Structure 1
Amino acid sequence: MSKIGIFFGTETGSTRLVAKKLQRQLGHEIADKPINVAKASIGDMLQYDALILGTPSYGVGDIPGRSAGCFEPNWEEFFARLDEEPDFSGKKIAFFGLGAQERYSERFCSSLFALYVMFKSFGAQIVGQWPTEGYVFEHSNAVVDGQFVGLVLDQRTQHMHTDERLERWSAMVVPQLMGTPG
């Protein structure tokens, strides 16, 4: 069985910490060490058939990067390095995103949707949708057909739920990513 690649963008380090926590939970047999997209190439991603991609939320539903207010290179700068649109046909991708539901209630974790749209346009099969129950927010672009397009975590006001949500989501998403019965 090939491993899952975990890639993340981060500004304050919270997304990196969640990516590391997720990889520890999955174990080295299932997932490789997480890689910051600021240090990754598209070729690094394309070597995997299954990916978990993480993002913080910056701007108003933008791809996180300098134009959205980030000081460090993020997803926007990763995509800017592409010479052509990559082909992710046959790849399965699950997403996780961090946001602040009370502070940014009107656009909670909307950057996750921008990342979802980008990789869907590259031909990836998206898995790992997550229910909106247990969150309090006005609007999120990341809600499609009544569910988030990936796992959503609020480290600011719901950090006490992070471990349990990661466990539940990973138990659901690993079989989807790896093509094994769940």
Structure 2
Amino acid sequence: MNKALLVFWPEKGNVDSVGDKIIKAFEEFEIKKVSILNLNKELLEEYDNWIIGGSTVGSHVWEDADDSNRWFEFFKLLNQVDLTKKVVAFYGLGDQILYPHHYVDGLGVFMEEFEKRNANIVGQWSTEGYQFYDSDGMKDGKFFGLALDEDHQPEKTDERISGWITLIRKDFK
């Protein structure tokens, strides 16, 4: 059976529960779901297919290099792993109504961090059907991964997950 690693943060919220939905919908893969708090180099090296999930939060959380920045520690850990043979897909949650100028900006951070480490990034998703003004998580009409809004479009989540899995399935080994 094919396998994948689903890495996410934060725990116990929409990012976590969407991770469960992705695992359920990706039935032909054995997917191990791990919070960024429980990762190590060996676990990352064990998997060739990665799904990375997060939410868009204030820029200080992404950019500040202090002990409270969980993503910063994860990105430092990535420096110990050869990503050139890893296939990586992202999903991001955001609120397109309250934050229409920064919708799923976190996908842009993921893209930047994985691109500079030469990972094989897959799963770009169309911006059609969303209501926002701008996002650092997109380019040329496509998000860098699956964008979800559990606050204002939860009824579209399952369908979007299904379509996105169909898209990335062909790239996962």
Secondary structure of the residue aligned to 1:106 is coil
Which aligned pairs between 1:1-182 and structure 2 lie closer than 5 A? 1-10=1-10, 13-27=13-27, 29-60=28-59, 63=62, 74-80=70-76, 82=77, 84-178=79-173
Displacement of 1:84 in angstroms is: 4.2
Using a 3 Å threshold, how does the CA distance of structure 1 residues 61 and 25 change in structure 2: closer, same or farther?
A: farther
| Residues 112-148 of structure 1, C-alpha deviations (whole Å, 9 max, x = no match) | 1101110111110100000000001110011122200
Give identity over the alignment, percent: 32
Query: Number of residue pairs matched?
Result: 173
* Unaligned segments of structure 2, at least 5 residues: none
Secondary structure of the residue aligned to 1:94 is strand
Distance in 2 between the 1:64 and 1:109 partners? 16
Q: Does the 8 A contact of 1:110 with 1:140 survive in 2?
A: yes
Distance in 1 between the 2:110 and 2:91 partners? 10
* Unaligned segments of structure 1, at least 5 residues: none
TM-score of the two chains, using structure 1 as the length reference: 0.85
Q: Does the 8 A contact of 1:4 with 1:49 survive in 2?
A: yes
Using a 3 Å threshold, how does the CA distance of structure 1 residues 52 and 75 change in structure 2: closer, same or farther?
A: same
Distance in 2 between the 1:134 and 1:57 partners? 19
Letter in 2 for 1:108: Y
Q: Does the 8 A contact of 1:38 with 1:75 survive in 2?
A: no
Runs of 4+ displaced beyond 6 Å: 64-67
Using a 3 Å threshold, how does the CA distance of structure 1 residues 11 and 5 change in structure 2: closer, same or farther?
A: closer
TM-score of the two chains, using structure 2 as the length reference: 0.89
Aligned residues: CA RMSD = 2.4
Displacement of 1:10 in angstroms is: 1.1
Letter in 2 for 1:119: F
Displacement of 1:58 in angstroms is: 0.6
Using a 3 Å threshold, how does the CA distance of structure 1 residues 65 and 173 change in structure 2: closer, same or farther?
A: farther
Of 128-137 and 110-119, the range deviating more from structure 2: 110-119
Secondary structure of the residue aligned to 1:32 is strand
More strand by share: 2
Q: Does the 8 A contact of 2:4 with 2:32 survive in 1?
A: no
Displacement of 1:30 in angstroms is: 0.5
Displacement of 1:26 in angstroms is: 1.1
